[in-house]
Structure 1
Amino acid sequence: MTIIGANYIGSFLEEAREKVVELKELFSRLSGDEENLSKTVEEMIRSAHTIKGTASLAGFPKLTQAAHWLETILDMIRSGNLSLDEDLLSIIRELIVSIDRLIHSIEDFGDEREVELSPVIARATLYLKNASRKAGKLPPLKVALEKRYEVVVSFEPVSEKIPVWTFAVLSKLQRLGHLISSEPDVNDIIEGRTKPGERLKLVIESPLSPDEIKEELGSVNGVRKVEVLGHGGQNERKEGKLRLRIYLTEETPFKAARALLIIQDLRKAGRVLSVNPPEGEIKDGMLLGESFFEVLLESELSFERVRELVLRHPGVRDVIKIGEPEGESTERKSFSGKKIRPLPFRSRKRTIPVDVSALDELLYSLGELVAIGEWLRDITSGSFNPEQIEELSGKLLETIERLRKTVTSLRTVKLRDRIAELIPSIEKLAAEKGKRVKVTILGEDVAVDRMVAAVVWEALVHILRNAVIHGIEGSEERLRIGKPPEGLIEISIVPHPSYVEVSVRDDGRGIDISEVKKRAVERGIITPEEAKRLSRKEALMLIFKPGMSTEREVSEESGRGFGLSVVMESIRELHGSVHVSSEEGRGTVITLRVPTDVLIIPVYIVEVGGKKYAIPSIGILDSFKLGAESVRKVGSVYVAAHTSGIFPAVLLHDIVEDFAPLPEGEVEGLLFQFDKDGKEKVLVLVDRILGKKETVVRSLRSLVPSAEVEKSVFTGVIIMGGREPVPLIDLISLMEGLVCEKR
């Protein structure tokens, strides 16, 4: 059974194609660059290993087998047990071609039926048999042989008549010492007289230590475990426990799959006692911090040896040993004790499919920009003509708009298609939980930026899992309370001019507000006094706080209370918002409001105290002017009266000008809809609204003083004409802290 579903095959194929290109390029250097042979072989091993691992996870046995043979042969070259000759180069070339053809077969037909591996495997087997015969009996080392060991090597199960590990083990034995006996007989396996099992028992004489023997044999591809006993059965070394923290690089594609491959390899080095986060969560893309995970391993190998094994994986930045083994914890913490927030796995693709017509458009726009540059140079070298400047400006704006549309089209995907990928896995999860659930998607499809689609997808993973695990009741319970036996989860997509709303509605048990408050107090998120003052809406928003969960028991699926906090943070990074409503016994609705584009977003430019600020237009319903006398302070809050109604008000002056007094005369306001249903509206008051524009949001830290950065209401910066930086205000965070209830 595979752990990567069909929806992930595209990502797997994308990476496999990249690795085949690398293998072909490296092969071209294999025979012509003796000086860098070792480095070239090492890089080829890494590429073959990646293909082997991801193919195994994706469920393609032929591709796994071909990559395994290639990796093993290359490893024998690296260790000096095989020398490159024309025959061996030909076999390596044929294996790479087979891997390439297998990938094309998977792309074209969805399986490996078009490629037959037997000929190349038979040829490689014959070559290795001949190489083994030429080596003759394994010669004893020239140094004195001090100890005799009984070595038991356990292998991964294989289908080949003569597995490739046989030759790899033989080549390694030449470096260990003298082979006394083997059970079953290695020569019988090579000649095909004995079927290989999953264990090989050896008696050898060697001056090497048990650790060195394990290191040599344990590095063979296909070896699951190596046990070294003194001849007579006594263990040479006791197992110890290692707590490992494994960091992946930010650029590592397919992070979750890579983590699972590493864990799989660590099981060959010993016993994996626990993984943080649990493997079930890693399969769903969860890692600790930005991109690391932790493993408690019981092994006879040293930390240095284990670290070396892990670092063989591409994409591993570092491996460190942390702390001493302690009791297991039900809290989400690192093994060092520090609480760590799990983040969704975000596979940032390095390549995207591009239509040739889009490239033509880019080339056309580039040509226009070059022509405009030449035109500008001609104008500035002579006398300025206002008409020419105006014409040039118009042409430049036209070209920029054309370029923008082309680039945006390359980054957009259909949101409905992306969301639909989740439905089979969610229905499968429900079945595993003994529940009947129907998941439907309603509403229009909409094109959104790839990053937006990825964030929404990750958010829905958490929301839908919560709905299945915690929201929807079992069939018997539903019948008992008068509901149909099949639960309903409804995903709706509602497009707006500059943003899209994605809602998840379930007809489950709803959220128990009193239990939420109780658990929030128990976990130190709020005080008992604060719990008493919370409105229903504020209490519901507690489910998005880090560490908040109403589950008493921690399981692979839930209980640590970090899933929905990840949803909130991911959506906020897009300058979006999250809303929740729930009724006990009736169900829950969670709505995500996100922009359709992240490259260029619409903003209002406002002025407060003589300074300019930008406010995202998402959620802003209207703008209007009103006299300062229309604004009154009632207790600790402001209220503004306008012909369209009376609204709670927020003075932006209080936020950015350290509680400046309300300006005299006329002020202007932006009417902001704070909730999904339009019941919560707040008027944001400023000195002046300078206009609305579409702009690129940039990093804040390098352009404005650090003191400004520390103000949590700022999330970015836009650049106005004349290179003037204008801070972008996070209106959602601002409203959470300052919105006034109408009472």
Structure 2
Amino acid sequence: MSELDMSQYLGIFLDEAEEQLQQLDEAIVKLEQSPDDIELLNTIFRAAHTLKGSSASMGFNRLATLTHRMENVLDLLRQGKMAVNREIIDVLLASLDRLRLLKDGLAAGSGESGEIDDVVARLESVLAPQKAAGDAAEKGGGHNLTLDDIEENVIRAAQVKGFNPYEIQVRLEQGCQMKGARAYLVFNNLKDVGEIIKSIPHTQDLEAERFDDTFTLVLVSREDADTLANIVKSISEIQEVVVRPIRLAEDMEKTTRKAPAAGGGEGPISQAEGRGGENRITQTVRVDVQRLENLMNLVGELVIDRTRLAEVGNGLKARLGSEELLETLEEVSMHIGRITSDLQEEIMKARMFPIDQVFNRFPRMVRDLARKAGKEIDFIVEGRETELDRTVIEEIGDPLIHLLRNAIDHGIEDPAERLKAGKPRRGTVRLRAFHQENQIVITVEDDGAGMDPEKIKAKAVEKGLISREAAARLHPREALDLIFQPGFSTADKVTDVSGRGVGMDIVRAHLEKINGTIDIRTTPGKGTCFTIKLPLTLAINRSLLVQNGGQVYAFPLANVIEIISITPAEIQYVHRQQVVVVRGRVLPLVYLGHALGQARELPPGESYAVVIVGLAEKQIGFIVENLIGEQEIVIKSLGNFIGKIPGIAGATIMGDGSVALILDVRSLIDGLGVEANRELAS
């Protein structure tokens, strides 16, 4: 294969290899928990077999060799000749790590960098007892034929074309001097009347004469059994030939009818799929991510122009009244609006990916961390099918890693401690994702020791993050927020898992970057639950538009709880903080102009509109001059020239061409230092 051809297919190979490696990673970890799951073993075997085949076809010998050795181990597990144990799982995962290293080397352009001899030796040591037993069985005569799913599919495809499958057992005469040459002659004579799809032992072993005196072939041919037997017997030094037709299970026949192998010809199922039956196979195509980004930007511009066109039409109608041309313009405007909405929805769907792409890397990580920490953990994952925008998926991985590491190291206790506390020996860590209105919610929950607010405050004082007087004034819920301070850690010692004073501050920073929030619920001795709320997309969002000081601002609807109207007489003061009582609860008030550094005093008026926003358990009311309404907006970055402005998350273009600023609610609240907590509300 030329260098040009290699570069043409390398990208496709790397994408598919990454999918196979991720599938293997997740399935092997599951296998440790369900060692008797034959279907899971078949899934692992198929993934390894596919990776081996594609690696060999691309000429990547180390990848192919290592996956071939893994395949041998997996095949013995499928046949029940070996039982799944921790040693086998460890060596399979080690092999997987080496495969990923080789794949990353190819992606970086440095070739198959990395040795495999040590991992291959570990796999061979696992195979050694079975290999010895197999050699003894060979001396006793005969082979136990097993076919994997791919080989059975090949046979089915051949049967459709009129070929019959046979198992051919050949025994050479004792004392045969050139066993490899005799095996070659058998292969050479049979290839004229059919196709050999399997050899036991492998052809490499036959050529090297690493077998006793018996070997077995799987052949598909249009000839009958007697003809095949006579072809083999015509070769000298052949003592015995046994030819048996191969019968496949009925359930495999049904599976093959649903998904015929390539080259299997046309059939009734293909016609049914053409009519749009329920079994229609979904066709997919790989698309460059940058193209999706460009499409999203173009759709965003269409959304802006749709709004502007509607406003222009309304303005003309107000000036000129109802005329035929205006009615046509209004009709066209509405039609463009519908098409733009549909186009926007389709592009959004194209950018949506199952969160499983992030979740499937965690079972292996949790297993390794739990073993390193000496803890026993049941890891439960729910909501893998939940979809969200790829830009959000890219950012959510690191925060979840830190939360899971925190749950394993700080949350779940040692088995002895759990038993002493009356808990099951094995701890539980649950990762869950689900949709809630226009947000996605992810929870990381453990049934461990929980967090003690007093201990957190003491640690914060010890590390100089807060004064002793300020710590004494903190409500327990506010004390929990201290864990997000840079440099904070409650670990008594530094471990490989955590306790280095980094992590939770990174979690909040990542989440704020994608307009997400995080909340903590904990009960000492019972466990802790972190709840993350994220927008479905970062490109287009629904917002509440308000006007203040002649400028239009947008509150992300995800942060808005409700809107109320109050009179100046209802405004009270608690600890020099403006508040209002809403349904028996004290709500802190802030004038939006003051929060943005424009004006401290409220403008005179008979009543004020208050937008109540929430961050976790905190709720604050922002007094605004005018309410405009709810609208779908396209989020635009302020750019590097303007930089990051406190309280402003971005901008959007309005229907009349003006610019509205999108508010960063958390930044506004942090900048004010408002004591929006339960202590104020009590």
TM range (shorter): 0.5 to 0.7
- 2:396 maps to a residue whose letter is V
User: Could you tell me which residue of structure 1 aligns to residue 521 of structure 2?
Assistant: 581
Q: 3-state SS of the aligned residue for 1:461?
A: helix
User: Could you tell me which residue of structure 2 aligns to residue 353 of structure 1?
Assistant: 286
Q: 3-state SS of the aligned residue for 2:488?
A: coil
Q: Distance in 2 between matches of 1:600 and 1:461?
A: 27
Unaligned runs of 5+ in 1: 1-19, 28-43, 60-104, 122-155, 161-252, 269-350
1:735 matches 2:649: no
* Counterpart contact for 2:376–2:415, Cα < 8 Å: yes
User: Could you tell me which residue of structure 2 aligns to residue 694 of structure 1?
Assistant: 632
User: Could you tell me which residue of structure 2 aligns to residue 238 of structure 1?
Assistant: none
CA displacement, residues 307-332 of structure 1 (integer Å, 9 cap, x when unaligned):
xxxxxxxxxxxxxxxxxxxxxxxxxx
User: Could you tell me which residue of structure 2 aligns to residue 240 of structure 1?
Assistant: none
Structure 1 residue 467 displacement after superposition: 0.4
Decide which of 468, 491, 496 is 1:556's aligned counterpart: 496
Decide which of 724, 727, 739 is 2:658's aligned counterpart: 724
1:497 matches 2:431: no
* Counterpart contact for 1:602–1:693, Cα < 8 Å: yes
Decide which of 621, 641, 663 is 1:683's aligned counterpart: 621
Q: 3-state SS of the aligned residue for 1:501?
A: strand
Q: Distance in 2 between matches of 1:561 and 1:728?
A: 33
CA displacement, residues 419-467 of structure 1 (integer Å, 9 cap, x when unaligned):
2542343134213322111122346953211222333333211101110
* Counterpart contact for 1:576–1:618, Cα < 8 Å: no
Q: 3-state SS of the aligned residue for 1:459?
A: helix
Matches within 5 A, 1:191-206: none
Structure 1 residue 717 displacement after superposition: 1.1
Matches within 5 A, 1:230-241: none
CA displacement, residues 26-51 of structure 1 (integer Å, 9 cap, x when unaligned):
79xxxxxxxxxxxxxxxx9xx89x97
Structure 1 residue 483 displacement after superposition: 1.0
Decide which of 579, 598, 614 is 1:673's aligned counterpart: 614
- 1:673 maps to a residue whose letter is G
Q: Distance in 1 between matches of 2:543 and 2:674?
A: 21
1:396 matches 2:336: yes
User: Could you tell me which residue of structure 2 aligns to residue 451 of structure 1?
Assistant: 391
User: Are the structure 2 counterparts of residues 263 and 111 from structure 1 closer, same or farther at C-alpha, using a change threshold of 3 Å?
Assistant: closer
Structure 1 residue 616 displacement after superposition: 0.6
* Counterpart contact for 1:578–1:590, Cα < 8 Å: yes
> Between the two proteins, what is the percent identity of the paired residues?
25
Q: Distance in 1 between matches of 2:664 and 2:619?
A: 16
User: Are the structure 2 counterparts of residues 537 and 21 from structure 1 closer, same or farther at C-alpha, using a change threshold of 3 Å?
Assistant: farther
- 1:439 maps to a residue whose letter is F
Structure 1 residue 500 displacement after superposition: 1.9
Structure 1 residue 646 displacement after superposition: 4.3
Structure 1 residue 504 displacement after superposition: 1.4
1:411 matches 2:392: no
Q: Distance in 2 between matches of 1:262 and 1:698?
A: 36
* Counterpart contact for 1:608–1:653, Cα < 8 Å: yes
Matches within 5 A, 1:593-632: 593-632=533-572
Decide which of 410, 421, 425 is 2:365's aligned counterpart: 425
* Counterpart contact for 1:609–1:657, Cα < 8 Å: no
- 1:734 maps to a residue whose letter is L
Higher relative CO (CA 8 A, sep ≥ 6), structure 1 or 2?
2
Q: Distance in 2 between matches of 1:576 and 1:607?
A: 25
Q: Distance in 1 between matches of 2:65 and 2:350?
A: 44
User: Are the structure 2 counterparts of residues 721 and 620 from structure 1 closer, same or farther at C-alpha, using a change threshold of 3 Å?
Assistant: same
Query: After the TM superposition, which of the residue ranges 524-533 and 478-487 deviates more from structure 2?
Result: 524-533
User: Are the structure 2 counterparts of residues 685 and 527 from structure 1 closer, same or farther at C-alpha, using a change threshold of 3 Å?
Assistant: same
The total of aligned residue pairs comes to: 428
TM-score when normalising by structure 1: 0.50
Structure 1 residue 718 displacement after superposition: 1.4
Q: 3-state SS of the aligned residue for 2:528?
A: strand
Structure 1 residue 485 displacement after superposition: 0.7
**Which of 1 and 2 has greater Rg?**
2
Structure 1 residue 589 displacement after superposition: 1.3
Query: After the TM superposition, which of the residue ranges 628-637 and 601-610 deviates more from structure 2?
Result: 628-637
User: Are the structure 2 counterparts of residues 388 and 590 from structure 1 closer, same or farther at C-alpha, using a change threshold of 3 Å?
Assistant: same
- 2:663 maps to a residue whose letter is I
Query: After the TM superposition, which of the residue ranges 567-576 and 543-552 deviates more from structure 2?
Result: 543-552
Q: Distance in 1 between matches of 2:326 and 2:473?
A: 64
Structure 1 residue 412 displacement after superposition: 0.6
Q: Distance in 1 between matches of 2:107 and 2:462?
A: 34
1:508 matches 2:448: yes
CA displacement, residues 271-298 of structure 1 (integer Å, 9 cap, x when unaligned):
xxxxxxxxxxxxxxxxxxxxxxxxxxxx
User: Are the structure 2 counterparts of residues 639 and 26 from structure 1 closer, same or farther at C-alpha, using a change threshold of 3 Å?
Assistant: closer
* Counterpart contact for 2:369–2:497, Cα < 8 Å: no
- 1:486 maps to a residue whose letter is R
CA displacement, residues 180-206 of structure 1 (integer Å, 9 cap, x when unaligned):
xxxxxxxxxxxxxxxxxxxxxxxxxxx
Q: Distance in 1 between matches of 2:385 and 2:113?
A: 44
Q: Distance in 1 between matches of 2:60 and 2:105?
A: 28
1:571 matches 2:511: yes
User: Are the structure 2 counterparts of residues 108 and 485 from structure 1 closer, same or farther at C-alpha, using a change threshold of 3 Å?
Assistant: closer
User: Could you tell me which residue of structure 1 aligns to residue 168 of structure 2?
Assistant: none
CA displacement, residues 558-593 of structure 1 (integer Å, 9 cap, x when unaligned):
222222112111111111111112222221111101
1:477 matches 2:417: yes
Decide which of 21, 24, 30 is 2:5's aligned counterpart: 24
User: Could you tell me which residue of structure 1 aligns to residue 475 of structure 2?
Assistant: 535
Q: Distance in 1 between matches of 2:425 and 2:443?
A: 23
Structure 1 residue 509 displacement after superposition: 1.2
- 2:286 maps to a residue whose letter is P
User: Could you tell me which residue of structure 1 aligns to residue 649 of structure 2?
Assistant: 715
Unaligned runs of 5+ in 2: 23-44, 67-99, 116-283, 317-322
Q: 3-state SS of the aligned residue for 2:482?
A: helix
Structure 1 residue 695 displacement after superposition: 1.2
User: Are the structure 2 counterparts of residues 413 and 717 from structure 1 closer, same or farther at C-alpha, using a change threshold of 3 Å?
Assistant: same
Q: Distance in 2 between matches of 1:664 and 1:421?
A: 57
TM-score when normalising by structure 2: 0.54
Give the RMSD, CA atoms, in angstroms: 4.7
- 2:612 maps to a residue whose letter is L
Q: Distance in 2 between matches of 1:457 and 1:621?
A: 28
- 2:562 maps to a residue whose letter is D
- 2:451 maps to a residue whose letter is I
Q: 3-state SS of the aligned residue for 1:388?
A: helix
* Counterpart contact for 2:559–2:665, Cα < 8 Å: no
* Counterpart contact for 1:521–1:531, Cα < 8 Å: yes
Q: Distance in 2 between matches of 1:516 and 1:601?
A: 37
User: Could you tell me which residue of structure 1 aligns to residue 381 of structure 2?
Assistant: 441
* Counterpart contact for 2:618–2:676, Cα < 8 Å: no
* Counterpart contact for 1:575–1:616, Cα < 8 Å: no
Matches within 5 A, 1:136-535: 353=286, 385-415=325-355, 418-442=358-382, 445-535=385-475
User: Could you tell me which residue of structure 2 aligns to residue 102 of structure 1?
Assistant: none
- 1:353 maps to a residue whose letter is R
Q: Distance in 1 between matches of 2:58 and 2:476?
A: 67
Q: 3-state SS of the aligned residue for 1:722?
A: coil
Q: Which has the higher helix share?
A: 2
